[in-house]
C-alpha cells in the first residue's frame, strides 16, 4: 500500500519531462541528458528516472495516454504545418511507447538503479561517501574513538582553549600594562597550544578514516598524461 502513491507522482514527473524536454525533439533530449547527469539533479528528474525504471521492469503500466496527450498538446501548440493543414500528432500504442522509453533509457546512459553513468555520478558518490565517513564510522563508535583519540593532544587542545579564553578576558578587562602584556602572551600561547592539539586530533581522525590520506602520490608516467 505504501508504494501506490509513487506511480501518480512519477507520472506527473514524466509529463513534466516530456513538456519541458522531450517534446522539443533532439535538442530537448540533449538538454535532458545534461540535466540528468548534473551533480545536483532536480527531484522531478529523480522521480522521472525511477518511474521509467519501474516501467521497463514491468512494475507499473506504460503511461501511453500521458505520452500521447503530450504529443497532441505539442501539435496544437505548433499550429498548422507549412501547407496550412493541422499537423497530425504522433500516436503510440503500448508497445511503441515502451520501446521509446527503452531507447530513451539507453540514450540517457542510466544504470539499472536509475542513476546516470559517468564522471559526474562518480564525483557525486565520492562526495557522499567522503562526507558520510567524516561524520560517522561504521561499527562501535566508542571503540573507534578509543582507536584514534590521543588524550595528550586532547588535553593540549582543552588547556590551550581555556588558557586563551581566560587570558583574553583578563586582557580586555584589566588596565595595568604589565598584566595586559602577560595576559596577551598567555593568550597567544593558549591559541598556539589549542591549534596544535586540535590540528593533531583532526589529522589522526582523517588518517583513521583514510589511512592513505596525506601520503605522497606516485608520479604518473609521462606517456599516460594528456
Q: Radius of gyration over alpha carbons of the chain, in Å?
A: 30
- On whether both 65 and 99 belong to a single domain, the answer is yes
Question: Which residue range(s) make up the domain with 151?
Answer: 139-209
Mean pLDDT of 180-194: 93
pLDDT at 159: 95
| Residue 223 placed within a domain | no
Q: What is the overall mean pLDDT for the chain?
A: 77
* Proportion of the chain above pLDDT 70, given as a percent: 71
Residue pLDDT, tens place only, 57-96: 888 888 888 888 888 887 777 666 666 666 677 788 889 8
Sign of CA dihedral 57, 2, 138, 123: positive
Tell whether 22 and 94 lie within a shared domain: yes
Buried b (16+ CB within 10 A) or exposed e, 64-93: beebbebbeebbeeeeeeeeeeeeeeeebe
Looking at the fold, whether 117 and 144 belong to one and the same domain comes out as no
| End-to-end Cα, the chain, rounded Å | 54
Domain count, the chain: 2
With respect to residue 216, please indicate whether it lies within any of the assigned structural domains: no
Q: Are residues 113 and 162 in the same domain?
A: no
pLDDT by residue (tens digit) across 23-67? 787 888 888 888 888 777 788 888 888 888 888 888 888 888 888
Q: Are residues 54 and 106 in the same domain?
A: yes
In a domain, 45, yes or no: yes
Same domain, 180 and 145: yes
Statement: residue 216 has pLDDT above 80: no
Is 181 within a domain?
yes
Question: Is 73 a member of any domain?
Answer: yes
**Residue 80: predicted pLDDT:** 67
Question: pLDDT confidence of 8, banded at 50, 70, 90?
Answer: very low
Q: Are residues 114 and 9 in the same domain?
A: yes
Q: Is residue 218 part of a domain?
A: no
pLDDT in tens, 150-180: 889 999 999 999 999 999 999 988 888 888 8
**pTM attached to this predicted model:** 0.47
Let me know if residue 214 belongs to a domain.
Answer: no
- Confidence band for 192, pLDDT divided at 50, 70 and 90: very high
Once rounded to an integer, what is the mean pLDDT over residues 103-114?
82
The DSSP call for residue 110 is: B
Same domain, 160 and 192: yes
Q: Is residue 195 part of a domain?
A: yes
What is the distance between the alpha carbons of residues 103 and 120, in angstroms, rounded to a whole number?
22
Amino acid at each position: 500500500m505504501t508504494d501506490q502513491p509513487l506511480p501518480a507522482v512519477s507520472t506527473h514527473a514524466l509529463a513534466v519531462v516530456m513538456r519541458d524536454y522531450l517534446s522539443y525533439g533532439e535538442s530537448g533530449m540533449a538538454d535532458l541528458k545534461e540535466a540528468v547527469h548534473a551533480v545536483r539533479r532536480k527531484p522531478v528528474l529523480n522521480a522521472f528516472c525511477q518511474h521509467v525504471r519501474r516501467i521497463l521492469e514491468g512494475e507499473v503500466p506504460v503511461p501511453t495516454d500521458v505520452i500521447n496527450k503530450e504529443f497532441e498538446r505539442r501539435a496544437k501548440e505548433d499550429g498548422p504545418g507549412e501547407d496550412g493543414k493541422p499537423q497530425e500528432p504522433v500516436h503510440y500504442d503500448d508497445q511503441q511507447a515502451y520501446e521509446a522509453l527503452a531507447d530513451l533509457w539507453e540514450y540517457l546512459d542510466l544504470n539499472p538503479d536509475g542513476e546516470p553513468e559517468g564522471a559526474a555520478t562518480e564525483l557525486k558518490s565520492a562526495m557522499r561517501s567522503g562526507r558520510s565517513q567524516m561524520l560517522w564510522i561504521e561499527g562501535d563508535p566508542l571503540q573507534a574513538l578509543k582507536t584514534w583519540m590521543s588524550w595528550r593532544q586532547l588535553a593540549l587542545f582543552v588547556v590551550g582553549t581555556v588558557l586563551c579564553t581566560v587570558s583574553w578576558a583578563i586582557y580586555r578587562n584589566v588596565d595595568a600594562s604589565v598584566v595586559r602584556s602577560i595576559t596577551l602572551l598567555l593568550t597567544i600561547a593558549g591559541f598556539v597550544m589549542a591549534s596544535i592539539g586540535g590540528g593533531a586530533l583532526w589529522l589522526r581522525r582523517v588518517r583513521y578514516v583514510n589511512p592513505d590520506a596525506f601520503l605522497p602520490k606516485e608520479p604518473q608516467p609521462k606517456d599516460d598524461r594528456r
